[in-house]
Amino acid sequence: MRKLAIFVEGQTEQIFVARFVQHIAGANNVVIRKIRASGGSGRYAPRTITEIEATSQTGAESYYVLLCDSGCDNRVVSDVRDQYASLAKDYVGIIGVRDLTPKLRTDLCRVVTSMRSVLMTRPLQVQLVIAIMEIEAWFLGECTHFERIDPAITLPAASARLGFDPSYGNLENRPRPSQDLDEVYSLAGKSYTKDRSTVQITTNALDYNELRTNVSLRLPSLRRLVSYLEHFFRGGDWLTA
């Protein structure tokens, strides 16, 4: 079984990435195991791993994805580093996913350099995906889901509320996409928050084929994630850069 480990900064990323992995893998072809890492703030305090859920196995799956919620942005790299040796024995790839927020857009190069400076590169190159500024930029760009949240949230209405058309251009230029999404949802008297129930409503409404084939063309960070996942499911050697 071909195995991939993905470390994400929080539950929003974990919920979304699990759905996206399932979409790209195809039905009944992948086992997804979700875990959460917590604690370990002291020098000798170990991280606690909590099982969240795993898709049932039929024995016919070709792929296995470990999806770890690290709890915050600066824990993604440390969790990858701590588990790297054991993962490198059995996994073909590792991906780290986090938002750039609360850093500034001008900090991007420094953040990437800092993350890479503490990560091993052999035998596996860890691939990094940094959503700019937040993963909600990806949700905002998938405008067809607005009316699935509520029929009152049409694209013209959303564009008027935001002062720009979210179906056009690179939304990585938006400073707080989560606030933009909340503004859009307010058209129907709803709100967007990062609590589990709201994130699940949004991720259930997203069109993952639209994200993969069209939205990713406008958002380089999403395109990077699509590329890594497609490469994993195509087989062959893991990426080296």
Mean pLDDT within 13-30: 91
- Whole-number mean pLDDT of the chain? 93
Range of weakest confidence among 45-54, 111-120, 136-145, 147-156: 45-54
pTM: 0.95
Question: How many Cβ atoms sit within 10 Å of the Cβ of residue 95?
Answer: 24
Task: State the Cα angle at 68 between 62 and 71, rounded to 5°.
Answer: 165
Q: Is 134 helix (H, G, I), strand (E, B) or coil?
A: coil
Taking the C-alpha atoms of residue 79 and residue 118, their distance in angstroms, rounded to an integer, is: 11
Distinct helix (H) and strand (E) counts, the chain? 11, 6
Do 184 and 153 contact (CB within 8 A), yes or no?
yes
Closest CA to 115 of 138, 134, 98: 98
pLDDT above 80 for 71: yes
pLDDT at 6: 98
- Model confidence at 42, pLDDT cuts 50, 70, 90, reads low
Task: State the Cα angle at 12 between 9 and 16, rounded to 5°.
Answer: 105
Taking the C-alpha atoms of residue 125 and residue 108, their distance in angstroms, rounded to an integer, is: 19
Question: How many Cβ atoms sit within 10 Å of the Cβ of residue 74?
Answer: 13
Closest CA to 190 of 230, 158, 236: 158
Where are the CATH 3.40.50 domain residues in the chain? Answer: 2-134+217-234
In the 8-state DSSP scheme, what is residue 71?
A: S
What are the φ and ψ backbone dihedral angles of 20, each rounded to 5 degrees? -70, -40
Mean pLDDT within 69-85: 94
- Is the domain covering 2-134+217-234 a CATH 3.40.50 domain? yes
